[in-house]
Amino acid sequence: MELKVYNIEGKETAKKVDVSDVIASAKPNDHAIYLAVKQYLANQRQGTHKSKERSEVSGSTRKLRKQKGGGGARIGDIKSPLLVGGGRVFGPRPRDYSFKLNKKLKRLARLSALSYKLKEDGFKVVESFSMAAPKTKEMIAILKNLQLSDKKTLLVLDEPNHNIALSARNLQKVGVINIADLNTYVILNANTLLFAEGAVAKLNEIYS
């Protein structure tokens, strides 16, 4: 599948890039996407939640009143979960939410997500560029030229570029990622994938 290449002024160049047919003609697998996104979000969880249970609350263990004859329900010490300030029953404990997925399944999920973006016209290619210094104003101008200023955009680079990453860091709707770090969640979380020309070549290598 051929795609047009734009420059940072937003003008169409004479160049075109081929996106591998493996991506363009892939049949998306929604369940693989679901599992990959679920794993990504689970791996982001710290799992440090904790509440005090009955044995951990500070307080006396003295029985508050006698078992029978008071006319009310039986009651134990002041740490009872039924009382204000008592321990919590089966409260959250620290745990690890991460889980494993097979490499082939994660690859299928990324391929499916990329295929969706191609079919939805959410895939754009720009000539590879660099910045001498971090300039947010320049990044805003580039996105405006490419008519992406009002869209959630993920800029995919063929190699890490510190100045470009810093230029986009303060922009709420813009993300910058290296092609090697591309995952299903970030692909679907963006309205448009803006690929640097060199990143498309590396993408074709991965899925050839």
Q: Which helix (H) or strand (E) holds 30?
A: helix 30-44
**Predicted local confidence at residue 189, as pLDDT:** 94
**Predicted local confidence at residue 17, as pLDDT:** 87
Confidence band for 58, pLDDT divided at 50, 70 and 90: very high
**Predicted local confidence at residue 3, as pLDDT:** 85
pLDDT surpassing 90 at residue 157: yes
- Check residues 23 and 105 and name the one with the higher pLDDT: 105
Q: What is the pLDDT of residues 130-149, one digit of tens each?
A: 888 999 999 999 999 999 98
pLDDT surpassing 90 at residue 62: yes
Average pLDDT taken over every residue of the chain: 92
How far is Cα 104 from Cα 107, in angstroms, rounded to an integer? 5
Residue 177 C-alpha from the chain's centroid:
11
Q: Label each residue of 62-130 as H, E or C.
A: CCCCCCCCCCCCCCCCCCCCCCCCCCCCCCCCCCCCCCCCCHHHHHHHHHHHHHHHHHCCCEEEECCCC
Which residue(s) pair with 117 in the sheet?
none
For the chain, what are the domain ranges?
2-28+102-206
**Predicted local confidence at residue 18, as pLDDT:** 84
- Provide the residue type at 33 as one letter: I
- Provide the residue type at 181 as one letter: D
pTM of the predicted model, to two decimals? 0.83
pLDDT surpassing 80 at residue 77: yes
Q: What is the pLDDT of residues 180-196, one digit of tens each?
A: 999 999 999 999 999 99
pLDDT surpassing 80 at residue 208: no
pLDDT surpassing 90 at residue 128: no
Average pLDDT for 79-102: 95
**Residue-wise over 48-59: b if at least 16 C-beta within 10 A, else e?**
eeeeebbeebee
The CATH number, out of the four listed (3.50.50.60, 3.40.190.150, 3.40.50.300, 3.40.1370.10), of the domain defined by the range 2-28+102-206: 3.40.1370.10
Instruction: Give the closest residue to 39 by CA, choosing from 94, 123, 109.
Output: 109
**Predicted local confidence at residue 25, as pLDDT:** 84
Task: For Cα atoms 104, 107, 112, give the angle at the middle one, nearest 5 degrees.
Answer: 125
Place of tokens 């200023």: 149
**Predicted local confidence at residue 130, as pLDDT:** 86
Q: What is the pLDDT of residues 1-55, one digit of tens each?
A: 788 888 988 888 888 888 888 888 889 999 999 999 999 999 999 999 999 999 9
